[in-house]
Amino acid sequence: MSIYDTIIIGGGPAGLSAGLYAARAGLRSLLLEKSFLGGQAITADRIENYPGFPEPISGLKIIQNMEEQARKYNLAIVVREVKSLEAEEGKFRIYLEGGLEGKLEPELENKLENGPENGGLLLSRTVIVATGASPIRLNVPGEVEFTGRGVSYCATCDGPLFRDREVVVVGGGNSAVEEALFLAKFARKVTIVHRRSALRADKILQDRAFQNPKIHFLWNSVVQEIKGDSQVRAVSLQDLTSRSLTTQPTDGLFIYVGSKPNTAWLPPAVKLDDKGFIITDERLSSSLAGLFAAGDCRQKPLRQIITAASDGALAGMMAYHYLQEKT
């Protein structure tokens, strides 16, 4: 069975950047993405702090540019979900599951079709984990039931559905305020509910939100329950100071209270911090030799598209140097 030099797991800005650098370095590289390229980056409608773009650009456009550039260097990109990973002496065994979308190179397609019951097996000398993170849920009554029926984690995806309606945004960081500003383009009223008495977002975003007549604020408050019938109709809020409960009518609830890394599938040999983020050294190497991590799935102080892309570039080159040192 043929073996790759590196397999990148995850197709966001970290994974695409890693694939670009690995492919340009001459490594036989494959990128696996379980659903669609871009991850959370494609939900950003307006990015103003990505170097080289003095005018705002959407996350979707950045990802499209990254994909086009990576493919120019013959990076193979396959839509397939990774089920598990095993480390052996000098190589990794990557087991796949789920349906296949798109066309594989013929020899890879044959290997997967004849693979084990879980859908296929790939071998690689190194692995770059760039699986990103997923939004954290509030875990309150009604959240699961109304997801897709008024509860959303992506204003860019669902904002236009709430034209001339009232919505609530939960959170106080950059993502929450950015999405509230986006929603204000469509909604009649946007209420930001934050558990503290001040926002944590960058000052420039705070200023825009405070100056927008459509955006209102409820401080020191948390969501206790989401109510409705076939759609969200209201949220029950608790004031953390007085402990009193109130009902806030709303047509939609957008939740931005943080994210959790997509790392539960990794073997125990990969050390994680107490929140599940992969612990790496300055070369982005994990505790498992030959396995690197890039982007939002690893332990680091700042999670932005630019830092994910930077991680990917470094991880791609570190995989190259790792293999050079082994020969």
Which CATH number characterizes residue 215's domain?
A: 3.50.50.60
In a shared domain, residues 269 and 248: no
Q: Which of 37-51, 182-196, 233-247 has the lowest mean pLDDT?
A: 37-51
Boundary-marking domain end, from 255, 271, 303: 255
Q: What's the confidence (pLDDT) of residue 114?
A: 41
Boundary-marking domain end, from 221, 239, 255: 255
- DSSP β-ladder status, 232-239 and 221-228: antiparallel
In a shared domain, residues 236 and 281: no
Question: Nearest 5 degrees, angle CA 99-CA 104-CA 110?
Answer: 85
Q: Is 158 a catalytic site residue?
A: yes
Quote the number of domains for the chain. Answer: 2
Q: How many residues are listed for the chain in this entry?
A: 327
Boundary-marking domain end, from 235, 255, 275: 255
In a shared domain, residues 173 and 53: no
Cα–Cα distance, 124 to 290 (Å, whole number) = 10
pLDDT digits (tens, 9 = 90+) for 175-184: 999 999 999 9
Q: What's the confidence (pLDDT) of residue 108?
A: 56
DSSP letters, 284-314, are -B-SSTTEEE-GGGB--S---HHHHHHHHHH
Q: What's the confidence (pLDDT) of residue 119?
A: 55
pLDDT band (50, 70, 90) for residue 42: confident
Q: Is 154 a catalytic site residue?
A: yes
In a shared domain, residues 103 and 90: yes
In a shared domain, residues 127 and 10: yes
In a shared domain, residues 249 and 196: yes
The active-site residue, picked from 45, 158, 296, 311, is 158
Cα–Cα distance, 267 to 230 (Å, whole number) = 41
Q: Helix axis angle, 305-326 relative to 13-24, nearest 10°?
A: 40
In a shared domain, residues 105 and 162: no
Query: Domain limits at 158?
Result: 137-255
Top pLDDT among 102 and 51 is at 51
